[in-house]
Structure 1
Amino acid sequence: MKKLSHMIPSALQGLFAKPAPQAPEFEPLEMPLLRRRAPRDALLRISCPDPTAEEMQRDRHQYRAQWLVRQERWEEMAELLQEADENREMTPGAMPVAELMAFGARADVILAAEHALYDGKPASDAPLMAGIEALEHVLADHAGSDMIAAIVAQAHMDIGWAWRGTGWDSDVPARNHAAFAAHFERAEQILAPFDKDTAASPLLAATHCALLGGTGGDARAVADRYARLIDLNPANPRPMRAMGNHLLPRWHGSYDQLELEARRTAARTQETWGAGGYTWVQFDAISCDAQACANLDVPFFIEGLRDILARRPDPHTANLLAAYCASAIGQAAEIEDAAGAVRAEIADCARWIVRDHMTELHPMLWAHAARGFDNNLRVRSARRFAASGRDEAMRIITGLFQREIEAGKRVIFTEGRRQIAVPG
């Protein structure tokens, strides 16, 4: 077994005065069991599967990889991961299977680190180093495996973000910022031997793009790196959303660059998404930046919404876009400025998305939308989190059918006719 002292930066080694105990094992998280409550109003009925078909598929792939690594079957896991990556396998909701498996493979280590860092300041005996050191041993035993390298590099970045949090740089304690930088430095070292492999592997290309959160880069380099990833699998919207966020001035770009790359992406992915490429790139950027929102080509964005739903008419996508328009964007729609006017126009799209495309309710998507789709959001209770999403969705959907309800009708969502209004 190789010694790890030369692998892990000194900034990480010095975080603790003594070796941390072995990281505790975590059982797979179960999907929340929503309370079987009556709808917000008995006049509105919509199916609320728990878990949804998308959630079940995601869990299956994640837990399969998690189980394999718990049995120390790393070679088998890496082969399955590479197969999923090469075949561009995705769930019906357009989540890459390789990314789900990569998370499952590092989940125990990440969950232990996030638990220890929940309040931002770990106890002196917190098992932070034990988990990542175990993964470093696996990496040393499987030198040359690009899939395992991607997993360990992603684990370092995840732990780095757990140290840093999502606040402004000025609010991050020096010790936490040093740990963040050291984990990203180590991730970059791990990926360096596989730079050329990103030309064929979406997983490796995505991992290289994730490095931008810690290593930075100019707008052109950022756009080029994401463009290569998007071209590897245009059907995956996640890189488009991430690129738009990273091209904001607060990260590595400018508003002009954001608009330019959104249009370029729409042109390159037109066969897959129609105008949807523009919408995906702007999706997260305009929800967190008022100026980006004010600059938006609204008709083009709405055309993209329609094209996305025409090409992805599944319940997951319908819930995602409805929750985004009504909650993530709609919550700030009343501000009387240029951005507020844009948000109000986008929020109004929730009406036709719900009426024309929704057949069932996915509470977790609505809960995440209400909190701005924060990937680093720490949820104490998945059950209460999902319940809050259900309440938010029922409140909004009830409002969209207020005219029918005030007329004394019941609104019932069905698979075939979307929804019907019958006498109360």
Structure 2
Amino acid sequence: MPLALRLVSNTLTIPAALARSVQRKRQRAEVLSVQRLSTEHLADRIALTVLTGHPDKKALAGPLNSAILEWSARDWPALGQRLGKLDRRRAALPSGARIAPAIAIELFRHIAGPETCRKLDRGQPVNEAELPDALFEPLLDCIVLAEPDPALHFLAAQLFLELGWARHGSDQTQDLTPDRLDAARTCFDTAHQILEEIAPQAPHSAYFAEVNYRVRAAEGSTMEDLFSLFTRWRRSDPTTLTPFAVHGLNMLPRWYGEADSVSSFANIAWAKTHEKMGAAAYAATYLSAMEVDPQIMLGMDVPAFREGLMDMMQHSDDPDVTCNAILRILWEVSADAHGLTGREATSLRRARCELRELFFYLVRHALGPVMPDVWAGRWTEAKILHAVAEAFEADIQAGHRVSIGLDGAKVLTT
């Protein structure tokens, strides 16, 4: 650019940049003024409809209690029949998670006991003395010596998958000792062998396909093999978004993928499913991955992602559960420096701002009852109230009241 033009350009750019800076500071001040309001004041301005308890936990309670009784009584025929029926029906919880594998996870936690589960929830490994392999041997004896329902093989494989991750600890491998890694691999290998033996009897089982994918991903695979396993899982359970979320997560560079792997897979997901599911699979792919690595947002088509989130709720058995789960992720990932330790690039800051705007949009146009147990973690009704309030800052500052309930959000101007 000629010098004269550069001078003119700079002369025009500096005031514009200054104006944008002033605007951003003013906007931050307005947000902070809402954030400074007490919970009592916000509760007076915003009326939330709050539902306590996680709908998944409520829906799972009956089948899980029966499964625990059957495990304790070693009533393998009844347990196998229960899981097999759930698998054939592709029975799901309100969140969309399939009931059969959900029972297996909770059954594992029941067997492990509360003290061990507290360690697991903190990402700490547990050894053989704390959680003996022998606790699971009765089921192994059953599938070896008898000819039980194939679902019991899937259960056994999933229990050893969970045991492997318990031996492994969190996914941060910097402090992973050889002993821990060997113990985890032994469990993953056991799970793999169980599935290999029963595979011919499970050509259409969604439960088998899910556990098989997760086991192979845990023990180590190739991108090509993992994609084949994903394809089988999706075909055996074509109405669920879970395969897209799980495979999208595995496509992160820290595991199986490269820099553009999540973006490429999201585009494939959209191409294969948009006629029946809209952009839901596209959004599900990114939603799980961005929570672990926010950098992948840079390859995301934001309008398609927003459309996909709405499609996820539309296709959900319980849109309110799905909406609450989505909002929690959007808020946390859009927070400053989520998932990063160093200086943040301007492009990523911009992506976070777009994500926060998307949070505001969904609060205003999709949120119904608030479910603190779905947000989970450190989220409380009060903390959710403060987050939601930012979506209505202009209305609050104008003196309006807001009601959020079964019919969505309404701004009351009188």
Counterparts in 2 of 1:167 and 1:97: CA distance versus 1, 3 Å: closer
Aligned partners of 2:164 and 2:187 also within 8 Å: yes
Give 1:117 deviation, angstroms: 5.1
**1:49-198 matched pairs, under 5 angstroms:** 49-111=51-113, 114-115=116-117, 118=120, 120=124, 125-143=129-147, 145-198=149-202
Whether 1:299 and 2:303 are equivalent positions in the alignment is yes
Q: Give the alignment of 1:21-36 within 5 angstroms.
A: none
In structure 2, C-alpha distance between the alignment counterparts of 1:239 and 1:262, rounded to whole Å: 12
Q: Is the 8 A contact 1:64 1:101 kept in 2?
A: no
CA distance in 1, matches of 2:370, 2:331: 14
Note the C-alpha offset of 1:160. Answer: 1.3
CA distance in structure 1 between the aligned counterparts of 2:209 and 2:334, rounded to whole angstroms: 30
Q: CA deviation at 1:345?
A: 1.1
Q: Which residue of 2 aligns with 1:30?
A: none
- Cα distance in 2 for partners of 1:173, 1:116 equals 21
1:407 equivalent to 2:398? Answer yes
Distance 1:211 1:363 in 2: 32
Q: 1:85/1:356 Cα in 2 relative to 1: closer, same or farther (>3 Å)?
A: same
Q: How does 1:253-268 map to 2 (within 5 A)?
A: 253-268=257-272
Structure 2 residue 317 is matched with structure 1 residue 317: no
Shift in CA distance, 279/158, structure 1 to aligned 2, threshold 3 Å: same
| Partners of 2:279 and 2:305 within 8 A in 1 | yes
Q: Where do residues 331-410 of structure 1 align in structure 2 (5 Å cutoff)? A: 331-332=336-337, 335-368=344-377, 385=378, 388-410=379-401
Cross-structure match for 1:377 = none
1:288-328 deviation per Cα after TM superposition (whole angstroms, max 9, x unaligned): 22442222222322221222233336210111122221223
Give yes or no for the alignment of 1:281 onto 2:285.
Answer: yes
| Structure 1 residue 125: Cα displacement | 4.8
Would you say the 8 A contact 2:150–2:202 is kept in 1? no
Give the drift of 1:40. 5.8
- Is the partner of 1:217 in helix, strand or coil? coil
Distance (whole Å) between structure 1 residues aligned to residue 357 and residue 176 of structure 2: 38
Give 1:116 deviation, angstroms: 8.3
Deviates more, 1:319-328 or 1:199-208: 319-328
CA gap of 1:39–1:277, structure 2 versus 1, over 3 A, is farther
Structure label with greater radius of gyration: 2
Q: Name the CA distance, whole Å, in 1 between partners of 2:180 and 2:41.
A: 44
Which shows bigger deviation, 217-226 or 60-69? 60-69
- Bigger relative contact order, structure 1 or 2, given CA contacts below 8 A and separation 6+? 2
Q: Secondary structure at the match of 2:225?
A: helix
Deviates most, 241-250 or 129-138 = 129-138
State, as a whole percentage, how many aligned pairs show the same letter.
19
Say if 1:97 and 1:402 are closer, same or farther in 2 by CA, change over 3 A.
same
- TM-score of the aligned structures, taking structure 2 as reference length: 0.80
The TM-score, its normalising length taken from structure 1, stands at 0.78
Contact 2:80-2:148 at 8 Å conserved across structures: no
SS in 1 for 2:266: helix
8 Å CA contact 1:149–1:191 kept in 2: the answer is: yes
Coordinate RMSD, CA, aligned: 2.8
CA deviation after TM superposition for structure 1 residue 104, in Å: 4.2
Contact 1:197 1:204 in 2 (8 A): no
Comparing 349-358 and 336-345, the one that deviates more = 336-345
Of the three residues 412, 416, 424, the one matched with 2:407 is 416
Q: Is the 8 A contact 2:161 2:215 kept in 1?
A: yes
Work out the CA distance in 1 between the residues paired with 2:104 and 2:125. Answer: 27
Distance 1:269 1:389, change over 3 A: farther
CA 1:50–1:143: 2 relative to 1, 3 Å? same
**Cα deviations by residue, 1:168-190 (Å, 9 ceiling, x for unpaired):** 32311222222111111111111
Give the residue type in structure 2 aligned to 1:69: W
Distance 2:203 2:259 in 1: 28
- Measured against aligned partners, the alpha-carbon deviations of 1:244-302 in whole angstroms (never above 9, x if no partner) come to 01112221222333322222222222244201111111222222224422222223222
Judging changes above 3 Å, is the alpha-carbon distance between structure 1 residues 124 and 199 closer, same or farther for their aligned structure 2 residues? closer
Q: In 1, distance between residues paired with 2:295 and 2:129?
A: 45
2:230 equivalent to 1:226: yes
Instruction: Extract unaligned runs of 5+ from structure 1.
Output: 1-36, 369-384
Q: CA deviation at 1:349?
A: 0.9
Moved more, 321-330 or 218-227: 321-330
Higher helix share: 2
Closer/same/farther in 2, CA of residues 89 and 135 from structure 1, 3 Å limit: same
